Each structure stands twice: as C-alpha cells, then as structure tokens.
Amino acid sequence: MKQLIDQNLLQEHNTKQEAAVTSDYNALAEKLDRSGIKIDTILEQAKQFAVAVPSWGVGTGGTRFARFPGLGEPRNIFEKLDDCSVIQLLSQATPAVSLHIPWDRPKDPNELRQYAEQYGLHFDAMNSNTFQDQIGQEESYKFGSLTHTDKAVREQAIAHNIDVVELGQKLGSKALTVWVGDGSNFPGQQHFKNSFTHYLESIKEVYKSLPDDWNMLLEHKIFEPAFYSTVIQDWGSNYLAAKETGERCMSLVDLGHHAPNVNIEMIVSRLAQFGKLGGFHFNDSKYGDDDLDSGSINPYQLFLIFNELTDIRAQNPAYSPFYMLDQSHNVTDPVESLMYSAAEVQRAFVKSLLVDRKALTQYQEANDPMMAQASLKQAYNLDVEPILQMARLQAGGAIDPVSCYRASGYRAAVAKSRPADPNKTGSGIV
Ligand code: LRH
Ligand code: MN
C-alpha cells in the first residue's frame, strides 16, 4: 500500500516508546481486571473504531472576517486524499473520507476511486451543496433551495442531489448527507408550513433516487446562514422529515448545530429510540457552529454521547451509525487537528465501554443520583491512552501521531511541492 510517511521513521518513532506503552498497558490491564474487564476485548473494539474525515477539513478554514491560509494547502481532491492518507496511516482510525460536491467533483470518478484505494481509503457519505451558487448556475439559492417558493429552483436542487447520489455510486459511497441552509432573516419572510411542505416534497424526490443499500442523512442546524428561522432547525423537524420520507431516511446530529447547553446526548437517545439516528458530525463549540476540534471544549459531553451510543448497542449490537468529523481548522495544521480529534472521539468511545452498565442501571432504578453519576465518572476518569496507543501500534500506526507527523517533515515537504496560488481562495471552509 502506498504511504507518504517513511516507514523507517514510523518504526523508529514507535520503537522508542513501545516499552513504556506496554508497561502502561499492562498496568491498566491489571486495574481493569480487578473490575472484571478484559482489556484485550476493549482493545479489539478500539481497533475497529473508525470515524470519517471531511475532505474540506484538510484545508485551512476561516471566518467571514478572514482566512489565514496554512503552508502547503491541498489544491485539489487528489492532494486532499494525500493528506487524508497520512491521517489514516498515523491514527489508524480514519479509513474513510467524506466528499463534498461540487468542491470535490472528479473528472474521472474511477480514477479518483483508484487514487483513494492505493492508500487503503474509501469514501463515506457524500455531501450535496445547495447553499452556494455555482458559476453558470441557472437558478440562485439566495432564497433557498429544496424549500424555495419557485418550483424551478427546487427542481434544480433536487437534480443536484440525485447527481451526487449517482456520482457516489461510482465512488462506492453508501450514503447522502443533505444539509440545507434554507430559512429566513426576518419574521414574516417565510411561511413555515409551506417551506417545510416544499422540503418534504423535494426530499422525497431525492429519496426515490436512492439505491436500495444506501441511507439518506438529514442534518438539522439552529441558525446560519439564516438568522431568524431555519427550515430544518432542530431534531424535531429533522425527525419529522426523516419519518415522513422513508425507512432509510435518517437524522444526522452535527454537535455544533444546537443552541449552547442543549442536552445533545438526550437527543441522541430519542432519535435512536425511534429508529432515526443515522449519523454524526463530530466537532466542538462554545457559542455557535464554531466547528472546533472534537473534545477540545467539552470532552465530557462527547463521552456522554458515546455512553448513550454504547447503551443503544448493548440492546442492538448491529447498530452502526455514520461517524464523521466536521471541523474547520483556522489556526492549526489540519492534519494534526484531524488526527488528534479522531483520537478524542475514539477515546470517548473506549471510555463508554468501561461504564459498569449493570451498576448504573441499579443506581438509576434505586434513584441513587450520586452513585449513578459516579459510575459514569468512574469510567470517564480512567486514562485509556495506553489502549489508544496500543491500538495504533498494533494496527501499524504511530503511538503518538502528532509528534511522528512533525518528525516526518511532511508539512514542509508539501509546502514546497504545493506552492501557494495567491489567486486561489483555498480549500477550507470560509
Ligand atoms: C453546515 C455543515 C454541513 C456541511 C458544511 C460544510 O454547517 O455542518 O454538514 O455541509 O458544514
Ligand atoms: Mn455538519
């Protein structure tokens, strides 16, 4: 398999730390054994864990105020995949890439598929885009897309989504994520029922084009780009639309798309209870849709979300939602942020496996809030880093991805091979 980090350097990096990791791992094994937990069973699940990376996340992000391009930004989808291959090689937790169309539209889908496969990468959910007008586009999305009052605009948006599904089939993807920014900036500007009715009619048209083995993931968002109302504003509107549309139409939860302090783990439980929890966009935020690195602001919330997911899987082991990072890297090297964030999501998952669910249920049934919360904290407070390091080591990754990446000089190398194009706006979200 092709790799862009020298294997000897990776080997040396691991060899220097292997003894320490093994000692830490054995100490944790002994500790978990006292609670009747076999660490190797946890390790196997950690090694199976995967979260997709967003193609648009490997470029430098920005805000409406400014974007400060990083060195060696990827200039096309092939260079984005090069960076994604480094993230996967060192983290061993990100074998899939989620594309955004038209940002990543390939001239030859087969060529792109082969380019990804040489790195052992495959394509996760496809993302359509009816929140920007493309050059030469017939109808504008200024006042909406799938919910626009003008049928011609809705039909254009429907056709785009169907086109993305067809492209995704050629690339081996198995899902379409639909996020629309449709909404209003003034009270009275939009008729709530009519716009939601347009959405339902449009999304049902897209659903008809879905191959039998595909899922459609609807993504809600409280605001931005609309600042008074958003048609798919919250999990309620999302659930109703998924329920109305069809069995393989599910709801996707982007952690940053909720008002501050909303109990997202309870939304996860509700959507799962009614069979409509289809996937996640992991990131973190303090105020709005900040798209900060997962686990960087509120790691306990990330743990509580995986605590719900592990509880759901305890009843339904086959349950496997789409996991994806959806972040904007404005001040860090995107490769470092995505490797670190993938490990933070994996960490929350591993800690959720260490919750004594039998004890937790007993404390809940006995209305013993102190011991109930303490049984969650007991797992959360465990340092599972040795399990994550061992998982990476055994899978051929780096014990410490960020320091190995820095030692590799990859960023300096691509800074030379990808001279910045002053006229190009770059590949991150602005
Ligand atoms: C909207 C969103 C959506 C993507 C976009 C890049 O805020 O989360 O998932 O299409 O970011
Ligand atoms: Mn998202």
Find the CATH number of the domain harbouring 220: 3.20.20.150
What's residue 422's pLDDT?
66
Question: What are the beta bridge partners of residue 218?
Answer: 178, 251
What's residue 88's pLDDT?
98
In a domain? residue 176: yes
Helix (H) or strand (E) holding 220: none
**Res. 19: pLDDT tops 60:** yes
Q: Which domain holds residue 305?
A: 51-354
What's residue 420's pLDDT?
78
What ligand 1 atom has the least distance to the C-alpha of 289? Answer: 7
Tens digits of residue pLDDT in 38-80: 999 999 999 999 999 999 999 999 999 999 999 999 999 999 9
CA-closest candidate to residue 124, choices 92, 85, 161, 98: 98
What's residue 423's pLDDT?
67
In a domain? residue 1: no
Q: Could you tell me the distance, in angstroms and rounded to a whole number, from the CA of residue 311 to the centre of ligand 2?
A: 24
In a domain? residue 120: yes
What ligand 1 atom has the least distance to the C-alpha of 54? Answer: 6
Q: Could you tell me the distance, in angstroms and rounded to a whole number, from the CA of residue 326 to the centre of ligand 2?
A: 5
Nearest ligand for residue 328 CA: 1
Q: Could you tell me the distance, in angstroms and rounded to a whole number, from the CA of residue 293 to the centre of ligand 1?
A: 15
What's residue 424's pLDDT?
59
Name every protein residue with a CB atom under 6 angstroms from any ligand 1 atom.
56, 127, 179, 219, 221, 254, 281, 289, 326, 429
How far apart are the C-alpha atoms of 147 and 230, rounded to whole Å?
11
What's residue 319's pLDDT?
95
CA-closest candidate to residue 210, choices 128, 133, 296: 128
In a domain? residue 287: yes
Helix (H) or strand (E) holding 370: helix 369-380
Mean pLDDT of 27-41: 98
Cα 390–Cα 80–Cα 71 angle in degrees, nearest 5: 95
What is the model's pTM? 0.97
**Res. 386: pLDDT tops 80:** yes
What's residue 74's pLDDT?
96
Tens digits of residue pLDDT in 75-87: 999 999 999 999 9
Q: Which of 130, 146, 232, 281 to mutate to test the pocket of ligand 1 (most atoms within 8 A of CB)?
A: 281
**What's the one-letter identity of residue 59?**
G
How far apart are the C-alpha atoms of 157 and 206, rounded to whole Å?
9
**Res. 425: pLDDT tops 90:** no
Cα 6–Cα 398–Cα 348 angle in degrees, nearest 5: 150
Number of domains forming the structure of the chain: 1
Q: Which of 219, 322, 325 to mutate to test the pocket of ligand 1 (most atoms within 8 A of CB)?
A: 219
Q: Could you tell me the distance, in angstroms and rounded to a whole number, from the CA of residue 98 to the centre of ligand 2?
A: 11
What's residue 118's pLDDT?
98
In a domain? residue 78: yes
**What's the one-letter identity of residue 366?**
A
Q: Which of 182, 326, 427 to mutate to test the pocket of ligand 1 (most atoms within 8 A of CB)?
A: 326
Q: Could you tell me the distance, in angstroms and rounded to a whole number, from the CA of residue 224 to the centre of ligand 2?
A: 12
In a domain? residue 98: yes
In a domain? residue 83: yes
In a domain? residue 246: yes
**Res. 91: pLDDT tops 70:** yes
Q: Could you tell me the distance, in angstroms and rounded to a whole number, from the CA of residue 297 to the centre of ligand 2?
A: 17
What's residue 419's pLDDT?
86
**Res. 334: pLDDT tops 90:** yes
> In 10 A of CB 223, how many CB atoms?
17
Tens digits of residue pLDDT in 107-158: 999 999 999 999 999 999 999 999 999 999 999 999 999 999 999 999 999 9
